[in-house]
Amino acid sequence: MTMEETLRRWTQPARFVALLMGSLSAVAILLASIGIYGVMACTVAQRWREIGIRVALGATTAHVRRLLGAAWIPARRARHVDPTVALRVE
């Protein structure tokens, strides 16, 4: 057996553990980002009336995006709220 084969066999468990830990951490980051997106989307969905009122009072889309900076995609969706519909609710 060559020295390269010996080293490969000796380091194989450590490489497997490193690969496993890397994969699990990638899955954890993915789940955390999905969770944060879900919470922010829910927050925007609950505040759509307020966003509509802000737009009716003259807030620009840049102001709306800045208000919901961490949730850019839900904010994009919310800025299309019709101000008259938002004012008539409730």
Question: How high is the mean pLDDT in each 10-residue block of the chain (90 residues)?
Answer: 91 95 97 89 78 82 72 66 68
Burial label for 28, CB within 10 Å (0-12, 13-18, 19+), is exposed
pTM score, two decimals? 0.56
Q: What is the pLDDT of residue 10?
A: 93
The full length of the chain comes to 90
Question: Helices marked H in the chain — which ranges?
Answer: 3-46, 48-56, 61-67, 72-78, 83-88
Smallest Cα–Cα separation from 67: which of 82, 84, 55? 55
Cα–Cα distance for residue pair 66/69, rounded to 1 Å: 5
